[in-house]
C-alpha cells in the first residue's frame, strides 16, 4: 500500500541517510545488519548511535573500564567496516542502569536535528515480553523524538529552524508486527562476518551460536518469500506514531 487517504507511505529503498539508534553496540547488526548493509550498497549513508556504554555485557572481568571501552570500540569499528557505517555516536548512558527518559529523548532529538536522516532504525519497544528496559526506553524515546523534533520548543538556542528537511519514517526491528520482509540473501555473509566481531560480549562458542541463530531466523522469516533469507521490519511514517490505532496492519 503506497498511499493512504492521500498520505504517502515511506519508501525505504529511497533512503539517502539513515540514523540507526540502538540500546547496545551490537543490536543494529544482530537484527538488521543485512538490511542496513544492502541500503548502504544502494547509496545510503549509515550512522550508528549507541545509547548505553555496554559495560554490563562485557564478559572479561579482568579488563579495566578503560580496557573494556577500548575493546568495545574496536569490536564496533571492525563490524562497521563490514556493514558500511560511516560514523559512530555514543551517548554513554549506563548499560542496564538508570536512564532518565527525558534526557535520552533530548539527546536523540539533538542528533536528529543535526544529522537530518531520512529514516531512523531502532528497536520496537512494544514487542510483547520485551523485558530489557534499555530496549524499551530507547525505542520509545526514538518514536517520540520522531514526532517532536519539528517543534520549536525542542530546538536548542543555537539551532535554527531546518528548512526543506523531510523526515520519512521510523523502521522498527525486533518487532512482533512487521510489515516488510527485507531480502538479505545476497549479503548474509557480510552480516555474519560483522557479528563475529563482537568478542567483548560473546565467547567464540557464543558468537558461533549467534551466527547460527540469526541465520536460522533469517531463513524462517523468509519462509513464504521468493528469496532464502530475510529480516523482518516495521516501517512507520511519522503521522502513524500518534493517534493512529491501526498501524499493526499497515
Contact by Cβ (8 Å): 58, 200: yes
pLDDT at 248 over 70: no
Q: How many domains does the chain contain in total? A: 1
pLDDT at 161 over 80: no
pLDDT given at position 1: 46
The answer to the question of residue 250 being in a domain is no
Tell me what the mean pLDDT of segment 45-49 comes to: 98
The answer to the question of residue 249 being in a domain is no
CA–CA separation, 152 and 184 (whole Å)? 39
pLDDT at 55 over 50: yes
pLDDT at 250 over 70: no
The answer to the question of residue 156 being in a domain is yes
The answer to the question of residue 245 being in a domain is no
pLDDT in tens, 167-224: 999 999 999 999 999 999 999 999 999 999 999 999 999 999 999 999 999 999 999 9
pLDDT given at position 138: 98
The answer to the question of residue 9 being in a domain is yes
Confidence of residue 159 (pLDDT cuts 50, 70, 90): low
The answer to the question of residue 132 being in a domain is yes
Confidence of residue 31 (pLDDT cuts 50, 70, 90): very high
pLDDT at 2 over 70: no
Contact by Cβ (8 Å): 191, 29: yes
- Counting other chains too, the contacts that 163-167 makes at CB distance below 8 Å and 24 or more residues apart are 165/116, 167/112, 167/116, 167/117, 167/118, 167/120, 167/238
What is the signed CA dihedral for 146, 147, 150, 153, rounded to 10 degrees?
-110
| Strand, coil or helix: 242 | coil
The answer to the question of residue 224 being in a domain is yes
The answer to the question of residue 246 being in a domain is no
pLDDT at 246 over 90: no
pLDDT given at position 153: 87
pLDDT given at position 174: 98
pLDDT given at position 102: 98
Residue 84 belongs to domain with CATH number: 3.40.50.10320
Query: Domain range holding 67?
Result: 3-239
Amino acid at each position: 500500500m503506497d498511499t493512504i487517504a492521500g498520505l504517502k507511505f515511506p519508501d525505504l529503498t529511497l533512503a539517502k541517510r539513515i540514523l540507526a539508534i540502538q540500546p547496545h553496540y551490537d543490536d543494529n547488526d544482530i537484527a538488521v545488519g543485512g538490511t542496513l548493509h544492502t541500503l548502504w550498497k544502494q547509496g545510503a549513508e549509515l550512522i550508528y548511535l549507541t545509547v548505553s556504554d555496554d559495560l554490563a555485557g562485557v564478559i572479561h572481568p579482568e579488563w579495566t573500564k578503560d580496557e573494556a571501552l577500548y575493546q568495545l570500540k574496536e569490536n564496533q569499528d571492525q563490524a562497521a567496516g563490514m556493514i558500511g557505517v560511516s560514523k559512530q555516536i555514543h551517548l554513554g548512558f549506563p548499560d542496564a542502569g538508570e536512564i532518565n527518559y527525558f534526557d535520552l529523548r533530548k539527546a536523540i532529538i539533538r542528533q536528529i536535528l543535526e544529522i537530518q536522516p531520512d529514516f531512523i532504525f531502532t528497536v520496537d519497544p512494544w514487542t510483547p515480553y520485551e523485558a530489557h528496559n534499555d530496549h524499551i526506553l530507547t525505542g520509545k524515546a526514538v518514536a517520540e523524538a520522531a514526532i517532536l523534533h519539528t517543534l520549536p520548543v525542542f530546538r536548542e538556542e543555537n539551532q535554527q529552524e531546518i528548512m526543506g528537511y523531510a523526515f520519512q519514517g521510523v523502521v522498527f526491528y525486533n518487532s512482533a508486527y512487521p510489515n516488510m520482509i527485507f531480502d538479505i540473501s545476497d549479503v548474509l555473509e557480510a552480516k555474519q562476518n560483522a557479528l563475529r566481531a563482537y568478542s567483548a560480549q560473546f565467547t567464540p562458542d557464543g558468537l558461533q551460536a549467534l551466527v547460527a541463530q540469526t541465520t536460522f531466523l533469517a531463513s524462517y522469516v523468509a519462509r513464504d518469500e521468493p528469496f532464502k533469507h530475510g529480516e523482518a521490519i516495521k516501517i512507520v511514517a511519522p503521522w502513524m506514531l500518534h493517534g493512529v490505532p491501526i498501524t499493526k496492519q499497515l
